[in-house]
Amino acid sequence: MQRQRCSIVKRNFATGKPGKLSTMNTQPAAWSIVLLGTLGLTLLSGCEPTNAPQGNGEVTTTPPTVTSEDVGDYVIHFNALPTDQLTAEIARSYGIVRSESRAMLNVSIIKKVEGELGTPVPGVVKASATNLAGQFKTTNIREVREADAIYYIAELPVTNAETLTFNLEVTPENETESFPIRFQKQFYASGGN
């Protein structure tokens, strides 16, 4: 199995300021949950290789271990997780309902800056989610700004062992090109809802 060298950027969810940058070797399947910790948002920022949208316009489904796509001058970070994994403080501050049967989609757009971690930029994020039975899940995206950080989040209902396919269309501000991203996530509830 090929090892990957990954850079981890921790961003304080409460202040939005970049935190510690660390680099580690990891197995490709080691990354599944991105939002963890008491007030920390951890974004996987530099794992190679990734499966980006194809040059012919087709969008491939990103492996579950990948949580970012490098698209031209930008890196798009994305993740979905059960909202019960958020701390009560974070959920309360953003008006998110904590539950095993609710998921939160989180997307951010980072403009690449030579020699730096990058700069969060606003944009337009559209998202849809569909389960394996073809049932559509409504995603109402809202922008969250905290200091220099910009996040696009949505909540949606999930059931135990449900797999959702997320289709994102991300357009950074002042850009005409949209970047399609497709990824899947399976959700589990400890109580088996």
pLDDT band at 86 (very low <50, low <70, confident <90, very high): very high
Domain ranges, ordered by start, for the chain: 58-187
pLDDT of residue 191: 61
What's the pTM?
A: 0.68
The answer on pLDDT for 37 being more than 60 is no
> Given pLDDT bands bounded at 50, 70 and 90, which one contains residue 144?
very high
Q: Can you give the pLDDT at residue 96?
A: 94
What is the CATH topology of the domain spanning 58-187?
A: Immunoglobulin-like (2.60.40)
pLDDT score for 60: 57
How many Å is the Cα radius of gyration of the chain?
A: 16
d(C-alpha 172, C-alpha 71), whole Å: 11
The confidence score (pLDDT) of residue 1 equals: 34
Residue 90 CB neighbour total at 10 angstroms: 20
Owner of token pair 């996530």: 185
Exposure b/e, 39-78, CB count within 10 A at least 16 = b: ebbbbbbbbeebebbeeeeebeebeebbbbbbbeebbbbb
User: How does DSSP assign 64-107, residue by residue?
Assistant: TT--EEEETTEEEEEEEEEGGGS-HHHHHHHTPPP-TTEEEEEE
The pLDDT value given to residue 167: 97
d(Cα 70, Cα 76) in Å, to the nearest integer?
Answer: 7
The answer to whether 151 and 108 have CB atoms below 8 angstroms apart is yes
d(C-alpha 178, C-alpha 23), whole Å: 30
Confidence bin at 44 (pLDDT 50/70/90): very low
